Every structure is written in C-alpha cells, then in structure tokens.
Structure 1
Amino acid sequence: MNLVSIRVITEDVSKLLEFYEHITQVKGIRFTDDFAELQTPGGTLAIGSTRTLQFFGGPQVAKAAANQTAIIEFITTDVDKIYQEQSGFLAPYLVQEPTTMPWGNRSLLFRDPDGNLVNFFTPVSADAIKKFEGKI
C-alpha cells in the first residue's frame, strides 16, 4: 500500500490552488470547478470543494478551513532560499521562520488561506539527510 495524496476540502478551490502554485512553483491541474491537484514526484495535494462531499456521504463528512491537527509537508533543497524569495508573500501566513528542529530538519511553517498548516523543510543533520536520501 502507498500513500498517494492528501486532499483538503475548501470553499474556494481557485484561491487555494493559486496559493499552492505560487509557493511551490508547481502548476496544478484543474479537473473541474470542484477539483484540482498539485502533483509532485513524491505525492499529490488534492483540493476539493465542499460540493464534492456529496460523493462521500454529505457535508457532515468534512468541514472546510477547520483543520487543527494535520501539517502538509513539502521537502525542498533549500528552505532558507525559499523563505528569502517568498517572505513577502508568506508574511500574512507565517507561523515560524526557518528553524532547525531537534530531529534534523530545517523547517518553515506557515498557514494556507484556509488555515491549514504547511511545512517546507530541508534535511540538515546527517541522520535526516540519510533518511530523506533520494526524496528531493
């Protein structure tokens, strides 16, 4: 079994897709007005509108902009460079500037327009580099 994607539910697919395209520099794929994907070599961030919930049992299944537990993570070669290039854009969303974590990743933490936590990180310790070898 392989994890292939994470899907976030939103009231505004266009806004969220544009945000993620900007911060990742990856062009998303818009399948319908209610569904888009941002595909990377390691996995896919799917973005679905609240209208798609009807296919999964109704609006009580998920609530847009209510995530309080998950962090969407992207590995990158140089988180400090991304922060330098994107700091103006990310300013209203910033949670934490690049910081080296005890587990060996240098992390930039911010929220997307719906409030979902997003972490861009670069492995910097020998163990973290080894753990993520071939993933960047």
Structure 2
Amino acid sequence: MNFVSIRIITDDVARLADFYELITDGTAVRTADVFAELTTPSVTLAIGSTRTVPAFAPGAAEPAQNRSAIIEFLSPDVDADYARLRDVIDSWVNEPTLMPWGNRSLLLRDPDGNLVNLFTPATPEAIAKFALFTE
C-alpha cells in the first residue's frame, strides 16, 4: 500500500489552493470549483469543498476543525522560504527553528487554521533520512 494523498475539506477551495500555491511555489490543478490538487513528487495535497463530503459520507468531515495533524513540506531552504513569505503570510506559529530530531522547521497556519510545517533537514542524520526526496 502507498500513501498518495491527503485531502483537506474547506468552505473555500480557491482560497486554500491559492495559499498552498504560494507557500510551495507550485501550481494546483483546479478540476472544478469544488476540487483542486497540488501534486509534489512524493504526495498530492487535495483540497475538496464541503459540497463534496456527501459523496463520501454525509457529515463525515468538517472544515477548519483540525487541531491534531500537521501538513509537512520538505523544503530545500526553509530560511529562504521564510524570507520570501514573511511579509505575505500573517499566520506564523514560529520562525525557522532547529528541532531536536534534526530538521529546521517553520510553522504557520493555513487560512482554515491547519498547522503547516515547512522543514529542511539540518543534521547529518536528518539529511540522510530525507536523501531519497532531495535527489
């Protein structure tokens, strides 16, 4: 089994797609006003409207309710990301910080309040761990 996607349910697909395009410097494919996908080499971030939830299971997901998951993006240079984004994002949780597990992390919240971590491996162990994704 392969982990290929995570989906965020929102009341405003366009707003979240714009946000994730900004922080990743990527392009979301917007297949309908109720759905967008931002694909990276390792996983796809899907953004679905609350109007899509009944197709899965009515009432099974609610927008802007997450306080337990962190959406993480591996960045070549989190300090450069911070310099690029610091004046256009207003939902910073912290500035780039070296974590005990060896990543330099930058935390912020997306427009729905989901926690987002941009990180760059900084120690030899962390660099080795993520080498597959940086080659």
TM-score by length of 2: 0.97
Q: SS in structure 1 opposite 2:86?
A: helix
Aligned: 1:4 with 2:1? no
Segments of structure 2 that go 5 or more residues without pairing to the other structure are: none
Once the two structures are superposed, residues 78-97 of structure 1 have per-residue CA deviations (whole angstroms, 9 ceiling, x without a partner) of: 0001101110112x110010
Alpha-carbon distance between aligned partners in 2 of 1:85 and 1:15, rounded to the nearest angstrom: 19
Over the aligned positions, Cα root-mean-square deviation in angstroms equals 0.6
Letter aligned with residue 35 of structure 1 = F
Segments of structure 1 that go 5 or more residues without pairing to the other structure are: none
TM-score by length of 1: 0.97
Alpha-carbon distance between aligned partners in 2 of 1:27 and 1:85, rounded to the nearest angstrom: 17
Letter aligned with residue 21 of structure 1 = E
Tell me the percent identity. 56
Alpha-carbon distance between aligned partners in 1 of 2:84 and 2:38, rounded to the nearest angstrom: 21
Alpha-carbon distance between aligned partners in 2 of 1:33 and 1:85, rounded to the nearest angstrom: 28
Alpha-carbon distance between aligned partners in 1 of 2:6 and 2:64, rounded to the nearest angstrom: 15
Instruction: Report the counterpart of residue 51 of structure 2 in structure 1.
Output: 51
Instruction: Report the counterpart of residue 27 of structure 1 in structure 2.
Output: 27
Aligned: 1:78 with 2:82? no
Alpha-carbon distance between aligned partners in 2 of 1:103 and 1:130, rounded to the nearest angstrom: 12
Q: Offset at 1:43?
A: 0.5
Q: Offset at 1:23?
A: 1.1
Aligned: 1:111 with 2:109? yes
The structure richer in strand per residue is 1
Q: SS in structure 2 opposite 1:2?
A: coil
Once the two structures are superposed, residues 59-113 of structure 1 have per-residue CA deviations (whole angstroms, 9 ceiling, x without a partner) of: x2011001010000000110001101110112x1100100000000000000000
